[in-house]
Each structure stands twice: as structure tokens, then as C-alpha cells.
Structure 1
Amino acid sequence: MFKPRFFAAVALAFALPAQAQTVALAVDGSWSEFVVDDFSAESGIDPLSWIADDGSAIAFDFTLSAPAILKVVDAGFSGDSFQVFDNGISLAFTSAGINNYRDGATPSVIDFDTAWSQTNFSRGLFQLGAGSHHITGLLAVSALDAEGLPFNATLGGVALTAVPLPAGAWLMLSGSGLLAAAARRRSA
């Protein structure tokens, strides 16, 4: 009777996903890095999931009090594309990148802002509502090496920015400022 329970407990432990390293994101537009590398991923983690530099699974956790924009960009070899998840539910895929891998090449870009500005790198914008978020991702499409085989290694970044006010709100705020300045001028 002890053995079936023991084996069931061991099987359940192996079926549970590996504990992810969490990184908190601030809504300030700063980039946080993730990597995909099937050679350094620790056992039990899908090798094409986002990982930290130490090979552990990585997730980005944060709570929003107002809507925000999540930016995801590839900054390794162009030609990669990611599937992005929020609380385990797929948000969508990033855009298709244009493969530019050359034999013996090093990663094309490591600066996330530069990668974001270039159309050959995969990127995505996702609007998130207020609440708690647990962002993870998978390498959906890999850049191909010189022999046409998936490279399965890249780096990318995620960033959170506040949702900008609509143009009408800026117009209303500037008009209110002008009215306040005129009122102060009349009273002086």
C-alpha cells in the first residue's frame, strides 16, 4: 500500500512545472532580458521557453493599477518569433522576423531599443489591463543556421510602459492650463 502512494507522489512531482525565477517589472519602459538556449536550460524546463542567464525558467510578475503596454522584442539573431503568455493564457505571437543568420555570425543586436527600431527583428505590443500578471514566453520560430537548421538560441527583452493619454485628453489639459493662466493674469 505504501509503494503505490510513493510512486504516485514521485510521478506528480515530475509532472509539475519547474519553479520559475520571477523578475518584477516596473512601468517605466526599462528593458528586462530573457534568453532561449537549449544547451543551458536545466532539466525539466522546456528548452525553448524563456530562461534566465543561469538556465532556470523565467517569468515576469507585476501588478498594474492602470492599463499598460507590454513590449517584447527579439535582440539576438533576427528571424526568431515568440509566443507570449499572461497567467498561462496566450496573448499572441510577436511579428515574424527576417532571418539574417550567417555562418559564424555573432548575435546581430544586443541593444533592445535598436532591435525595436529595426523591422527585421520580431516584436510585439500587448495592452494589459489592471491586475496581476505573470508573463512567460516560448520561442515559436527560430532563426535558421547556415545549414537551414533551427538555431534555438536567442535573447530578447520585455518592457512595460504606461498607456499614453488620448490626444483629446492632452488637448483638454492644455486648454485647462491656458484658462488657468488667463484667470491668474486677470486677477493680477
Structure 2
Amino acid sequence: MDFDEEAAKALKIQFADFVMEWNDLEKGTALLLYYLLGGDSRVDALTARMQASAYSEAINALSYLHPQNVQDHLQAYTKRFDRIRAWRNHYVHGLFIVAYTNAGAPTAIVDSISVKKGKLGHTHNSVTGEDLRLARSWITDLRQYQSVLFRAIVGHPADVANPLGPLDQYLAPSMAPDLPSQGEYPFFPRKVE
């Protein structure tokens, strides 16, 4: 059987693109928090070492200081951000090899070990180029929404007369699903000794 080395390289490049797209979204989320906190160097001192999950929690906490409409938008944003973050973590921290299917097509293998409810579990699944394209589309959709939030929060003059409309006006109908539970992936419980 012939293995398609070029396709394997292309899959690796898709992973790199996914990571860079995520990093851009995460930096934009940090910037959104920066503006919500007032946007000066004191904010940088607070947020310099924050992780993505903390950005989300802080934005949710600050959302309650805004009118209900803006609050709804910020919470919808962080919900989507957190879902994509779960997928990003699953892919990035679990990826360990590009293998080949029986047909010779490349597939990335994601493998992780976790502890839930006192049981050690092993999750093992494959990720295709199509999986990565879908995940990147979630990021693209959220980045577009992020730009709408920036315009509303930073207060561009063109937006003063057009405040944030209803959520469904901005949000793409597709949203990253919750990361499947371990029961939805091949899951092999291990005895802890």
C-alpha cells in the first residue's frame, strides 16, 4: 500500500493553521477583556498571565455590569469560546501521531488519559482534515462575532446609532458542539494501582 506523504504534510499544516487561528481568537478575547476593564496598562498587569478559561470567566462576570442585551451577547460569546477551547485542548494536547487508514489516507491520532469520578480513562480517536476544517469554521464564525462585539464595546462612531441587535442577527447557526463525553469516544477504563 502506498502512503500519501504529501497528504500527511497537508494534514499537519491544517493542524498548524487551526492552532494559529485559535491563538488569534484567544488574543482577540484577551483584547475584548482589556476593553471591558477600561483598557490601560493596569489591565495588562492583571491579565498578563491569565489563561483562556480565565478570560471567559472574567468576561462573564463583567457582563453583569452591562445592559441585558450586551450581557446576553457577552455570555453567548464566552459559551462559544469555551466550547471551541475544549476542542482545541482536546486536539492540541492529545495529538501524538499522524497515521494512515487502511486506504492509505492520513489521519491524526488523538490520545489522552483523564480521571473522572475516581476512574482513570483513556480516550483514543482520529482527526481528519474535514474535522479540522469544521473546527476552523467555528473559529471563523466566532471571530466575525468578536468584531461585532468590539465595535459595540469600543464604541465606533458608526455603531452608536446601531447598538447590538438580537443574538440571532449575529450568530452563525452552527456552533461547536460540546466535546463528546468519554463514552462517545472509544473509552478504555484502566484500573489504578
In the superposition, the TM-score normalised over structure 2's length comes to 0.27
In the superposition, the TM-score normalised over structure 1's length comes to 0.28
Query: Whose radius of gyration is greater, 1 or 2?
Result: 1
Which has the larger share of strand?
1
